[in-house]
Structure 1
Amino acid sequence: MNNKLPTLEFLRRQLDGTLPAGAITEMQYPTAISKTLGFRITEIDVGYAKVQMDANVEMHGNQQGTVHGGMLCELADATIGTAHSTAILEGETFTSIDLKISFFRPVWKSVLTATAKQIQHGKTITHYQCEIFREDGKAIALAMSTVMTLRGNSAHGR
């Protein structure tokens, strides 16, 4: 019996509670960093992902007493990676080329919601936008990223 599912189907079934025991996909879900940081995928579609986390300064704080900007970068990067993993074919993988983030306001303690979507999807290069909001609905950051899809020998072992 083959328990391997395409990534999008795997994540959809994980979300709706119908993922069969022993099911796998080419990507590693949940990722180790997502488990460590408590990221939760809450919506998924082709080239789209919504991820939440419970942020607080006791765990994610910087020297100014707010949630560290690097934490927001990781949330954006993980959300973009999740979105892109649904938009590639079996045997393909990907790597980030860049990530630019703009910070708008601080966070002390909040459920954060990051939403990543494709802005432009090419054969090899795809551009993403990721917005991060506090639970009060206020935007706290906007990230833009370029992702390269890897195929063939470039994808092997990644």
Structure 2
Amino acid sequence: MRYPTAISRLLDFQIVDVGEGTASLRAEVDPARHGNQQGTVHGGFLVELADAAIGTAHSTLMRPGETFTSIDIRAAFLRPVWSDVLVATARPSHSGRTITHYACDIVRSDGKPAATVTSTVMTLRGERAEGR
């Protein structure tokens, strides 16, 4: 597992917990830095936080000569976020040899979910993994 990634450093994501196929990442957010036109934290930031948690979770499953790529991502925004501490927790909902489906919940400090994100990740092996 390579961590922190460049994007995680840029956005100041921190690993809270990591296990086999699971990961939780934390981010302190503020609309002055991460905001949209409505004055709340931008949904794209939430998606990136979830994507980073999912990628961290999947990286724990990689063997030598393997790598991976996301092939889709979908977000449902449930509540607005202002200045807060968010935790994104990713876990597989189905694991296959090549395709793994993940669910990631992003929770505000009050314990309420801000968003739920699902993603499909494909493990690459052999020639498909070379140079990635």
TM value normalised by structure 2: 0.98
Match of 2:86 among 104, 112, 116: 112
Distance 1:37 1:141 in 2: 18
Deviation at 1:87, TM superposition (A): 1.2
| RMSD between aligned residues | 0.6
Which of the pair is proportionally richer in strand?
2
TM value normalised by structure 1: 0.82
Residue 13 of structure 1 corresponds to: none
Q: How many corresponding residue pairs? A: 132
Distance 2:65 2:112 in 1: 39
- Secondary structure of 1:73's counterpart equals helix
Matched, 1:45 2:15: no
Spell out structure 1 runs of 4+ moving beyond 6 A: none
Deviation at 1:89, TM superposition (A): 1.0
Kindly report which structure 2 residues correspond to 1:57-68, keeping only aligned pairs within 5 A, or say none: 57-68=31-42
Residue 154 of structure 1 corresponds to: 128
Identity of matched residues, %:
58
Greater RCO between the two (CA within 8 Å, min separation 6)? Answer: 2
Q: What amino acid sits opposite 2:124 in the alignment? A: L
Distance 1:30 1:103 in 2: 26
Deviation at 1:88, TM superposition (A): 1.8
Match of 1:91 among 41, 65, 88: 65
Match of 2:52 among 60, 73, 78: 78
Instruction: For structure 1, list consecutive stretches of 5 or more residues without a partner in the other structure.
Output: 1-6, 8-27
